[in-house]
Amino acid sequence: MTDAFELLMSIGEAASIYALVALSYMLVLRPTGIINFAVGEWALLGAFLSVSTVVTLKLPYPLAVLLVLAGVGAIAWLTERLTIRPMVERAAPLMTLILLMLAVDIVYREAAVWGYGTANHFAPMPFGSGRVEFGPFGGSTQSLVVIAATVLVFAATWYFFERTVQGKAFEAVAIDRTVASLMGINLARVTALSFFAAGAVAGLAGMLQAPLTTASYLMGLPLTIKGFSAMVIGGAGRVEGAVLGGLVLAASERLVLRYAPVPSAFAIAIPLLLLIIFLLVRPTGILKAKGAA
Amino acid sequence: MNGAMRTATAWIGGAALLVGLTYVLGGYGLDIYRKLLLTATLALSYNFMFGFAGQIALSHYTFYGIGAYSVTILMTQAGWSLPLAALATIGISAVVALAVAIPANRLEGFYLALATLALAQIFIVALVQGGEFTGGADGIFGFKSPEIFGIPLSGTNFVIALIGLFLGTLAVLQFLGRSYFGRACRAIRDNPRAAAAMGINVARTNIIVFTLTSSLAAIAGIFYAFADRFVNPYVFGIEPMFLLVFMVIVGGTGRHAGAIVGATVLFLLPEFLGDIVGRRYILIYGLLVVLALMFQPNGLIGLYDQLRHRLARRP
Amino acid sequence: MPRLKYGWTTLALASALAVAGWAVPAPASAQTVKIGVITDRTGNAAFYAGQIETGLNLALKEINAAGGVNGQKIEILYEDDQNKPDLSATKARKLVGEGAVVILSISSSTTTQQAQSVTLETKTPHIAPANSADTLTTRLDNPYFFQMGPLGSDQMRTLINYTGKRFKKVALLSDSTGLSTLTAKDFKNEMTKAGIEVVVEQVIEIGATDVVPQLQRIRAANPDAIVVAAISIAEVTLFFRGYHQLGLKYPVLASYNLSVPAYLDLAPNLLNGTFFVDVFDPDKVQAKQFIDKYTAEYKKAPFGLPAFGYDAVYFVADAVKRAGSSTDKEKVRQAIADTKNFVGVIAAKDTALGFPPNKRTGYPPKGSVIRVIENNKHGKVVSSGY
């Protein structure tokens, strides 16, 4: 029985990271239509920045979190300002924007390698690496931290979109850019803010993962693929889709690893296969967007 | 000289130059030259799919790998002769390409990119887990170069064969590019709905392009297997694929010359940048692509054209 | 068509540039003994290769300060293969063209394998100082290639010798890198030969975020011990974290890849109690001298990898001296193959490097030691050889 509950914790932790990355995708996708190749590298930057702030500069953890969120958010915002905005103003085709993010993604990664090298970097867990047990559940303290942080972020996001005027503005832009601007919503500001938020969320995901796996220059691409898979599976139309997609992806990965009679090496292929299947069979994901037919 | 004579001269002259280089270059230079010819061939076929037809697929190196591994496995494990193995490989690759192209046709843009990226990863996992059949993580190596009519296909002979591959691919793609098919591809790239309205069968054209260019990549893969007489899963990974995309963008998408220039420049540049720059050439390439996409979408070949026009305008 | 013609012109220009770079033969430089080194400076074996380089450079400095070999100084030519197999082959060719009389491969086993195709073709002596894959000398019949790392099979025998009959069934853990897959295969073969049953095998994927389900499988199989053939730092860290997270208590035995101290920094205090194979016995006389010299030069303590680099250069220098030539590759190859009883810094006390007739693996089969990690440090040697 311990197995099942430990697995649940493990699934929760992985689902959280995937959900955060999927959310980052959505925050950019919904208002602008751009699918952001660079999400994994934003997480990577968050991971490395957390190493710099916590390990090198030995700053207190809450301050480090703020710096990482602000830092990656700022980098994301700057990228939008310098590369995306001018191209959007020139009415560049969507494909060009996506390719741009691919190139920028490589730039981020190589800049990180320049600064931090190709070796792995240690990131400490903020609350220690002990084993926690409450009732039948057991897991590491870091799993709890990850899950708790994710719940917070999603609660805040839900509140933002459902209860605030700015959130409604976002939704309006997502539904129809032209009409939204005609209604007086400042498109440029919404886009800039969405990039900043997407960067911060991805950076947080990286910061949460770094203590678990060490910060490494290779950690970006798997997150890009898995986060995108989570978004596709759950449905890109709603924020809840990120959570659902993350859970489905994490659960299938972990359960196959634990119980399926296939060699564990094939477990790598699960997110990839799920992605391909969903793209072909149900690209809108499990949850439909609100108001969709 | 009229147009036809001009073309013939260009082809013969180009071929002569390429062959001449083969005999001038020494060991290391020849090695680079071979890899360059293969890369340029891949860039040409990729550019046709990416630049001419507008499909962002990231599976090109996967088909390169399918070609290389198929011919190697057939020759080393099944003991087939080269012509038979090569033909079978082309057949296998075409079938696989078709099998991927049909469902892939429903995807576009980033979705196609990620789906083909996922496929590329799965391919590597399958190779590494393939045990004795695929040679596993070590790959397959140590086999002999094949012989054509008693002449071994190694050293300079091999390079001549590569030149043939390169020119052959170029000829095929040039012909296609200028045909109705090529115009249909470009129409779909620019505006799929308008193309459909004009009567072009968008789905069928897309499927043919994908199958064809991927098969061309597999054919290049057949040659690659004998370049080092070594096939290894990690050669066909994601990194070289991204680099191929960069080459095509920086060189100038949608133009054969662009693919050749892009491949040549980006492939040779690290040699000249040396050890001080080391790995950072990738960073430079990323920046170059950003600049190209933002300010020079026609790439280096576009720059070259502008220069030519400016010079031509002088009285 | 005019467009195509100019495309050709461009290609021609670019090619001409390339030709300028390589068609001109390298100038005959002053007489030095050129050792070509294929290293990884920028890929994912960079961490290990960099450590070996420190040893290489120290030996280089010492030998040249003492007058060199046969009156000539040694020169090391470094090339970066980025841990890419086909690039490794190309770099090997480059080094041969630059006059290297011996090539050292200090990148991963997979890239060393591919570089061999070039050293075989160009008949150049080729040594892998630290690679441990058994297949390096068996899959390709290359008389010019010599391997000085501890073979996976010998490592496992040393481990089995230490554990005796205590462990009848084990769990085997590896990751999806090429080297780990090969090491795991070697380990499994040896264990099966010794009658030890591998009841469960798990492969940690590169990029995994946690290994709880895989460790649960291991727990479900209830092995007597866990044998770790995983080498990739992130994945090994995940394993040790998960191990403690689940409160597991199985003895952990690891390959010589865990003799790299980096793991201690990245998973502090999580490795205590692990037994691992090492090539470095700090109580050996030569090792003590090396520790002093290395610490004086680099201000930090050495371990197996820098020792491999250090020994490699002395080894090559010794062979070149006996060959009496710094350019005749055949003589150098023969001198290397004739090496017996080369006592270096690496390997257990009272063992020596050397090649038995018709074998190209030089590390003494009984030359590995077993050490235990205590207080987040590499502890003492508890067993040697088999």
Tell me: the pLDDT tens digits for A147-165? Answer: 999 999 999 998 888 888 8
Instruction: Collect all residues of chain A within an 8 Å Cβ-Cβ radius of residue C262.
Output: 119-120
Interatomic CA distance for residues A13 and C300, integer angstroms: 38
| Residues 72-111 (C) with a CB less than 8 A from some CB of B | 78, 80, 82, 84-86, 89-90, 93-94, 96-97, 110
Give the residue numbers in A contacting C (CB under 8 Å), as ranges. 3, 6-7, 9-10, 13-14, 17, 113, 117-122, 129, 131, 138-140, 143, 209, 212-214, 216, 218-219, 221-222, 254-255, 257-258, 263-265, 267-268
Q: How many domains does chain C have?
A: 2
Give the number of other CB atoms < 10 A from CB of residue A1: 6
Interatomic CA distance for residues C365 and C256, integer angstroms: 14
What is the pLDDT averaged over residues C268-282?
90
Mean model confidence pLDDT for chain B: 89
Whether residue C25 is predicted with pLDDT greater than 60 in this model: the reply is no
Mark whether C136 and C171 lie in a shared domain. Answer: no
Q: Is residue C332 part of a domain?
A: yes
CB A275 within 8 A of CB B114: yes
Residue spans per domain, chain B: 13-234, 237-315
Would you call B290 and A100 a contact, using CB atoms and an 8 Å cutoff?
Answer: yes
Whether residue C1 is predicted with pLDDT greater than 50 in this model: the reply is no
Helix A239-259 and helix A141-163, axial crossing angle in degrees, nearest 10 = 150
Q: Is residue C107 part of a domain?
A: yes
Mutate one of A107, A217, A266 to test the B interface: name it (highest B CB count within 10 A).
Answer: A107
What is the pLDDT averaged over residues A102-129?
87
CB A9 within 8 A of CB A138: yes
- Which alpha helices (H) appear in C277-328, and where do they start and end? 285-298, 304-323
Of B119, B129, B238, Cβ closest to residue A221: B238
| Continuous segment of H or E residues that includes residue C104 | strand C102-105
Phi, psi values for residue C83, rounded to 5° = 55, 35
For residue C208, give its domain range: 153-278+370-384
Whether residue C27 is predicted with pLDDT greater than 60 in this model: the reply is no
What the block records as the tokens of C134 is 């058994």
What is the pLDDT averaged over residues A276-283?
87
Interatomic CA distance for residues C261 and C307, integer angstroms: 14
Of C19, C80, C178, Cβ closest to residue B278: C80
Mark whether C248 and C376 lie in a shared domain. Answer: yes
Cα–Cα nearest to C83, from C53, C116, C47, C43 = C43
Q: Is residue C61 part of a domain?
A: yes
Q: Is residue C227 part of a domain?
A: yes
Whether residue C144 is predicted with pLDDT greater than 90 in this model: the reply is yes
Residue of B nearest to A228 (CA): B114
Whether residue C152 is predicted with pLDDT greater than 60 in this model: the reply is yes
Q: How far is C9 from chain B (nearest CA, A)?
A: 8
- Cβ-Cβ pairs closer than 8 A, B with C, add up to 152
Mark whether C377 and C245 lie in a shared domain. Answer: yes
| Continuous segment of H or E residues that includes residue C132 | none
Q: Output the pLDDT for position C28.
A: 46
Residue of C nearest to B17 (CA): C12
Length of chain B: 315
What the block records as the tokens of C78 is 């470094």
Would you call B129 and A266 a contact, using CB atoms and an 8 Å cutoff?
Answer: yes
**Rg of chain B, C-alpha, whole Å:** 20
Q: Can you give chain B as a three-state secondary structure string?
A: CCHHHHHHHHHHHHHHHHHHHHHHCCHHHHHHHHHHHHHHHHHHHHHHHHHHCCCCCCCHHHHHHHHHHHHHHHHHCCCCCHHHHHHHHHHHHHHHHHHHHHHHCCCCHHHHHHHHHHHHHHHHHHHHCCCCCCCHHHCEECCCCCEECCEECCHHHHHHHHHHHHHHHHHHHHHHHHCHHHHHHHHHHHCHHHHHHCCCCHHHHHHHHHHHHHHHHHHHHHHHHCCCCEECHHHHCHHHHHHHHHHHHHHCCCCHHHHHHHHHHHHHHHHHHHHHHHHHHHHHHHHHHHHHHHHCCCHHHHHHHHHHHHHHCCC
What is the pLDDT averaged over residues B288-304?
90
Q: Output the pLDDT for position C16.
A: 60
Q: Output the pLDDT for position B263.
A: 95
Interatomic CA distance for residues C191 and C197, integer angstroms: 7
End-to-end CA distance of chain A, in Å? Answer: 43
Whether residue B254 is predicted with pLDDT greater than 90 in this model: the reply is no
Whether residue C98 is predicted with pLDDT greater than 80 in this model: the reply is yes
- Cβ-Cβ pairs closer than 8 A, A with B, add up to 98
Of B103, B122, B129, Cβ closest to residue A263: B129
Q: Over the stretch A46-76, which tens digit does the pLDDT of each residue have?
A: 999 999 998 888 888 889 999 999 999 999 9
| Residues 319-348 (C) with a CB less than 8 A from some CB of A | none
Interatomic CA distance for residues C44 and C234, integer angstroms: 11
Whether residue C3 is predicted with pLDDT greater than 60 in this model: the reply is no
Mark whether C218 and C308 lie in a shared domain. Answer: no
Q: How far is CA C333 from CA A75, B38, B160, C124, C316, in A?
A: 55, 34, 33, 8, 10
**DSSP string computed for C211-265:** -HHHHHHHHHH--SEEEE----HHHHHHHHHHHHHTT----EEE-GGGGSTHHHH
Whether residue C355 is predicted with pLDDT greater than 70 in this model: the reply is yes
Mark whether C240 and C377 lie in a shared domain. Answer: yes
What is the pLDDT averaged over residues C168-195?
89
Mean model confidence pLDDT for chain C: 87
Residue A267: pLDDT band (50, 70, 90) is: confident
State the amino acid at position B76 in one-letter form: T
Bridge partners (DSSP) of residue C202 are C173
Q: Output the pLDDT for position C15.
A: 60
Whether residue A111 is predicted with pLDDT greater than 70 in this model: the reply is yes
Interatomic CA distance for residues C139 and C145, integer angstroms: 12
Whether residue C153 is predicted with pLDDT greater than 50 in this model: the reply is yes
Q: Output the pLDDT for position C19.
A: 56
Q: Output the pLDDT for position A292.
A: 47
Q: Over the stretch B63-107, which tens digit does the pLDDT of each residue have?
A: 999 999 999 999 988 888 888 999 999 999 999 999 999 988 888
Interatomic CA distance for residues C188 and C355, integer angstroms: 25
Phi, psi values for residue C283, rounded to 5° = -90, -10
Phi, psi values for residue C57, rounded to 5° = -65, -35
Of B111, B117, B285, Cβ closest to residue A283: B111
Mean model confidence pLDDT for chain A: 86
CATH fold for domain A2-281 = ABC transporter involved in vitamin B12 uptake, BtuC (1.10.3470)
Q: Output the pLDDT for position B140.
A: 87
Instruction: Collect all residues of chain B within an 8 Å Cβ-Cβ radius of residue C179.
Output: 137
What is the pLDDT averaged over residues C315-326?
90
Mark whether C248 and C379 lie in a shared domain. Answer: yes
What the block records as the tokens of C144 is 């010019």
Mark whether C193 and C262 lie in a shared domain. Answer: yes
More confident residue, C12 or B150: B150
Interface chains of chain C (3 or more CB pairs under 8 Å): A, B
What the block records as the tokens of B99 is 């099998």
Half-sphere exposure of A237 (CA within 13 A, CB side): 12
Instruction: Collect all residues of chain B within an 8 Å Cβ-Cβ radius of residue C80.
Output: 275, 278-279
Mark whether C379 and C243 lie in a shared domain. Answer: yes
**DSSP string computed for C348-359:** -TT--B---TT-
Q: Output the pLDDT for position B179.
A: 92
Half-sphere exposure of B136 (CA within 13 A, CB side): 17
Q: How far is CA C317 from CA A270, B52, C112, C321, in A?
A: 51, 57, 21, 6
* Percent of chain C whose predicted confidence (pLDDT) is above 90: 49
Q: Output the pLDDT for position C2.
A: 43
Phi, psi values for residue C141, rounded to 5° = -85, 85
Residue C17: pLDDT band (50, 70, 90) is: low
Interatomic CA distance for residues C363 and C307, integer angstroms: 13
Interface chains of chain B (3 or more CB pairs under 8 Å): A, C
Phi, psi values for residue B239, rounded to 5° = -55, -55
Q: How far is C35 from chain A (nearest CA, A)?
A: 26
Interface chains of chain A (3 or more CB pairs under 8 Å): B, C
Would you call B114 and A225 a contact, using CB atoms and an 8 Å cutoff?
Answer: yes
**DSSP string computed for A101-148:** HHHHHHHHHHHHHHHH-SS-B----TT-S-EEEETTEEEEHHHHHHHH
Would you call B235 and C86 a contact, using CB atoms and an 8 Å cutoff?
Answer: yes
Asked if B141 has any chain C CB less than 8 Å from its own CB, the reply is yes
Whether residue C108 is predicted with pLDDT greater than 60 in this model: the reply is yes
End-to-end CA distance of chain C, in Å? Answer: 74
Q: How remote is the C-alpha of C315 from its chain's centroid?
A: 16
Cα–Cα nearest to C256, from C156, C128, C182, C140 = C156
Mark whether C290 and C326 lie in a shared domain. Answer: yes
Residue A82: pLDDT band (50, 70, 90) is: very high
Any idea which residue has 């509950």 for tokens? A5
Whether residue B58 is predicted with pLDDT greater than 60 in this model: the reply is yes
Would you call A225 and B119 a contact, using CB atoms and an 8 Å cutoff?
Answer: no
Instruction: Collect all residues of chain A within an 8 Å Cβ-Cβ radius of residue C48.
Output: none
Q: Is residue C306 part of a domain?
A: yes
Instruction: Collect all residues of chain B within an 8 Å Cβ-Cβ radius of residue A99.
Output: 56, 245, 249, 289, 293
Interatomic CA distance for residues B280 and B262, integer angstroms: 18
Half-sphere exposure of A218 (CA within 13 A, CB side): 20
Q: Output the pLDDT for position A48.
A: 95
Q: How far is CA B81 from CA A19, A24, B85, B146, in A?
A: 52, 53, 6, 8
Of A9, A143, A214, Cβ closest to residue C266: A214
Phi, psi values for residue C130, rounded to 5° = -125, -5
- Cβ-Cβ pairs closer than 8 A, A with C, add up to 105
Interatomic CA distance for residues A249 and A256, integer angstroms: 11
Mark whether C237 and C377 lie in a shared domain. Answer: yes
Give the number of other CB atoms < 10 A from CB of residue B147: 13
Q: How far is A126 from chain C (nearest CA, A)?
A: 14
What is the pLDDT averaged over residues A8-13?
89
Q: Over the stretch B161-178, which tens digit does the pLDDT of each residue have?
A: 999 999 999 999 999 999
Residue C9: pLDDT band (50, 70, 90) is: low
Helix (H, G, I), strand (E, B) or coil at C369: strand
Q: Lowest-pLDDT range, A137-141, A269-273, B251-255, C274-278?
A: A137-141
| Continuous segment of H or E residues that includes residue A216 | none
Mark whether C251 and C159 lie in a shared domain. Answer: yes
Q: Output the pLDDT for position C43.
A: 82
Bridge partners (DSSP) of residue A139 are A132
Any idea which residue has 């897991």 for tokens? A139
Would you call B110 and A35 a contact, using CB atoms and an 8 Å cutoff?
Answer: yes
Give the number of other CB atoms < 10 A from CB of residue A189: 11
Residue A25: pLDDT band (50, 70, 90) is: very high
Whether residue B226 is predicted with pLDDT greater than 60 in this model: the reply is yes
State the amino acid at position B44 in one-letter form: L
Residue C12: pLDDT band (50, 70, 90) is: low
In this predicted complex, what is the ipTM?
A: 0.87
Mark whether C309 and C271 lie in a shared domain. Answer: no
